Amino acid sequence: MLSFQLTEEQEAIREMARKFAEQEIAPHAIHYDERDEFPWEIIKKLHEVGLLTAGVPEEFGGPGIDYIGQAVVCEELSRGDAGVGTTVLASCMLGADPVVIGGNDDQKKRFFDVLNKGGLGAFCLTEPGAGSDAAGLSMTAKLDGDSYILNGTKQFITNGGVADYYTVFATTDKKLKHKGIVGFMVDRHSPGVSIGKKENKLGIRTSDTAQVVFEDVRVPVANRLWNEGEGFKLCMLTLDMSRPLIAALAVGNAQSAFDCALRYAKDRVAFGKPIATLQAIQFMLADMAMEIEAARLLSWNACWLKMQGKPFGLAASMAKAYAADMGMKVTTDAVQILGGYGYSKEYPAEKCMRDAKIMQIYEGTSQIQRVVIAANLLR
Ligand SMILES: Cc1cc2nc3c(=O)[nH]c(=O)nc-3n(C[C@H](O)[C@H](O)[C@H](O)COP(=O)(O)OP(=O)(O)OC[C@H]3O[C@@H](n4cnc5c(N)ncnc54)[C@H](O)[C@@H]3O)c2cc1C
């Protein structure tokens, strides 16, 4: 049976995450954004209320929130601040999913113990020379006794400078392309791991993005996820899992911009009446509300398919591409409705517009999602 209604549990999570975002995130977001500072105070509070581990399964000490519930958490946190939403997603969802999907019980216990204590995770795939073309990565993994030696640099890693545990992808033989890729769990405090350049970004400035450098890092074979050669598949399954959640981040950020535009349109008077009485403004608001709702349903649809055990990769890419493009359009329109004030930092619309852009880039650009969608259609 298809239901468009959240369960009681999902509703309760939504209410809790929304209240947290309204009280603990939104009022402080611009402070951290302007200073380009990581919001440790917010992260600590997220840990206290159990939202920092929203993606950790119950049997490994997490809250065991189901997949639609995770999308709801991402949306609500992003409504408060898309950078904070990104931090949580990159830690206990994207960063942890290779372990959820490919880890054995011992690996899961070790990884999730760190997150349950308030530590953060991160997903290290992109390199300076390989982004969309992930199979072209160059970081090497050389077997040496009962360990692998990792060498290489990862680029643009969310939580790169603040995480305690990474999931990392490297190649045993670059000539094998995707068949040479292998996944690992790597303790951030291992000798040879260092943090490179921290990015100074357009948006999601409350989220940490950094280079992570691996120099002769010895990683036990016990930290390898699945077998050699299966890392690329693990990566792709992980990205399928996180794309509907990125869509949810885009929805939350767009909803925040919409809320701001709606309030403003009712208050702002031009030519003797509120601008909300002008059909030009009403039509923009109507389009924004429609498109936000459509993106939310696409995200929930992809999550629902996964929860039913059905193929969901196509739906995940559709949700991510649509929601990311929607988010850019809706936040730009919100700035437009506020006129000059939309361009000012006095209102949150400009930050939402800056934050929206990344959704079209990370975890597969909008072009790459269309490549995936077309490949599915033509298969
Ligand atoms: C803030 C931020 C956070 C990030 N977080 C993470 C993270 O946590 N972990 C991680 O591993 N990575 C992360 N990334 C990296 C991100 O996923 C990549 O930047 C993204 O996949 C694009 O790769 P690229 O930057 O190398 O661009 P390129 O791959 O060089 O692409 C450049 C342009 O070419 C287009 N293009 C490339 N190939 C094709 C194609 N086949 N068809 C059509 N168009 C194409 C792209 O769409 C894009 O417009 C993050 C990036 C940023 C900016």
Q: Which of 229, 246, 266 is the last residue of a domain?
A: 229
Residue 129 CA neighbour count, 13 Å, CB half: 6
247 and 224: one domain? no
> Which pLDDT score, from 0 to 100, does residue 369 have?
98
> Which pLDDT score, from 0 to 100, does residue 31 have?
97
Looking at residue 29, which CATH number applies to its domain?
1.10.540.10
In the predicted model, residues of the chain with pLDDT beneath 70 are 1
Residue 363 known to be catalytic: yes
> Which pLDDT score, from 0 to 100, does residue 23 have?
98
180 and 195: one domain? yes
Atom index in ligand 1 nearest the CA of residue 132 equals 29
Number of compact structural domains in the chain = 3
pTM of the predicted structure, to 2 decimals: 0.98
pLDDT digits (tens, 9 = 90+) for 18-66: 999 999 999 999 999 999 999 999 999 999 999 999 999 999 999 999 9
Helix (H) or strand (E) holding 196: strand 193-198
151 CB within 6 A, ligand 1 = no
59 and 98: one domain? yes
350 and 311: one domain? yes
259 and 361: one domain? yes
> Which pLDDT score, from 0 to 100, does residue 148 have?
98
134 CB within 6 A, ligand 1 = no
202, with CB counted inside 10 A (0-12, 13-18, 19+), is exposed
Strand 165-171 to 121-124 pairing:
parallel
Largest CA distance in the chain: 79
Residue among 96, 114, 20 at smallest CA distance from 57: 96
157 CB within 6 A, ligand 1 = yes
> Which pLDDT score, from 0 to 100, does residue 188 have?
97
361 CB within 6 A, ligand 1 = yes
> Which pLDDT score, from 0 to 100, does residue 271 have?
97
Locus of tokens 């991160």: 122
> Which pLDDT score, from 0 to 100, does residue 49 have?
97
Atom index in ligand 1 nearest the CA of residue 122 equals 8
> Which pLDDT score, from 0 to 100, does residue 85 have?
98
| CA 358 – ligand 1 centroid, Å | 10
Atom index in ligand 1 nearest the CA of residue 371 equals 42
The boundaries of the domain holding residue 359 are: 233-378
| CA 324 – ligand 1 centroid, Å | 14
**Has residue 3 been placed in a domain?**
no
Strand 209-220 to 193-198 pairing:
antiparallel
89 and 112: one domain? yes
Q: Which of 167, 197, 229 is the last residue of a domain?
A: 229
pLDDT digits (tens, 9 = 90+) for 244-269: 999 999 999 999 999 999 999 999 99
Q: Whose CA is nearest to atom 16 of ligand 1?
A: 362
Looking at residue 243, which CATH number applies to its domain?
1.20.140.10
